[in-house]
Chain A
Amino acid sequence: MNGSSSSSGDWHDRYYHVDQILDRPGPRTDPSFLAGDEVKDFLRNKCKILVIGAGGLGCEILANLALSGFKDIHVIDMDTIDISNLNRQFLFRQKDVGQPKAIVAAEFIMNRVPGVKVTPYYGKIQDKDDDYYLQFNLVICGLDSVEARRWINATLVNLVDPENPESLKPLIDGGTEGFKGQARVILPTVSSCYECSLDMLNKPTAFPICTIANTPRLPEHCIEWASVLEWPKVHGDKKLDTDDPEHIGWLYSMALARAKEFKIEGVTWSLTQGVVKNIIPAIASTNAIIAASCCNEAFKIATSSAAYLNNYFMLIGTDAVYSYTFEHERRAECPVCGGESLDITISKEWTVDRLIEMLVEKQDIQIKKPSLASGAKHIYFQAPPQLEEATRPNLEKKVSDLIPDGGEITVTASSLPFSLSLRINYS
Chain B
Amino acid sequence: MIKIWSMKKNEDAAARRKPKTSAAQIRVQKDLTELDLPPTMKTHFPDPTDLLNFTLTITPDEGMYMGGAFVFSFAINNNYPHEPPKVKCTHTIYHPNVDLEGNVCLNILREDWKPVLNLNSVMVGLQYLFLEPNADDPLNKEAAEELRKNREQFLYNVKSAMRGGVIKGTHYDKVAVQ
Q: Which residues of A contact B (CB under 8 A)?
A: 30, 32, 42, 47, 137, 146-147, 150-151, 154, 157-162, 165, 168, 170, 187, 189-190, 195, 198-199, 201, 203-204, 206-210, 213-214, 228-229, 232-233, 300-302, 304, 308, 335-336, 341-343, 371, 373-376, 378, 381-387, 390, 408-410, 412-414, 418-419, 421, 423
Contact = CB atoms under 8 A, between A and B. Distances in A.
Given A335-B27, A418-B30, A190 B7 contact: yes
Contact of B141 (A195, A214, A301): A214
Contact of A385 (B4, B13, B42, B101): B42
Contacts of A137: 1
12 contacts: A47-B1, A146-B82, A160-B17, A201-B82, A208-B110, A209-B105, A341-B16, A375-B20, A386-B42, A386-B44, A412-B30, A412-B33
Nearest to B140: A213
Contacts of B164: none
Q: Name the 5 nearest CB pairs between A and B, nearest first.
A: A371-B33, A408-B19, A210-B137, A165-B5, A412-B30
Contact of B19 (A187, A199, A371, A410): A410
A397 B130 CA distance: 42
B152 interface: no
B168 interface: no
Contacts of B27: 335
Interface in B111-126: 111, 113-116
Most interface-central of B22, B26, B141 (chain A CB within 10 A): B26
Contact of B32 (A30, A189, A207, A383): A383
A412 B119 CA distance: 15
A234 to B, nearest CB: 11
Interface string B4-31: 1101110011111111111111110110
B4 A341 contact: no
A304 B1 contact: yes
Contacts of B169: none
A387 B32 contact: yes
B59 interface: no
Given A187-B4, A189-B12, A195-B23, A408 B18 contact: yes
Interface residues of B, number: 60
Contacts of B101: 229, 232-233
Given A150-B79, A412-B29, A421-B18, A206 B111 contact: yes
A198 B35 CA distance: 23
B45 A386 contact: yes
A130 B44 CA distance: 35
Nearest to A412: B30
Nearest to B119: A384
Contact of A213 (B18, B24, B99): B99
A336 B138 contact: no
B103 interface: yes
Contacts of B32: 381, 383-384, 387
B14 A343 contact: yes
Given A206-B111, A208-B105, A304-B1, A382 B137 contact: no
B42 A419 contact: no
A375 B21 CA distance: 5
Given A150-B23, A151-B22, A386 B48 contact: yes
Contact of B18 (A158, A308, A382, A384): A158
A49 to B, nearest CB: 11
Interface in B125-178: 137-139, 141
B92 interface: no
B90 interface: no
A208 B15 contact: no
A78 B177 CA distance: 50
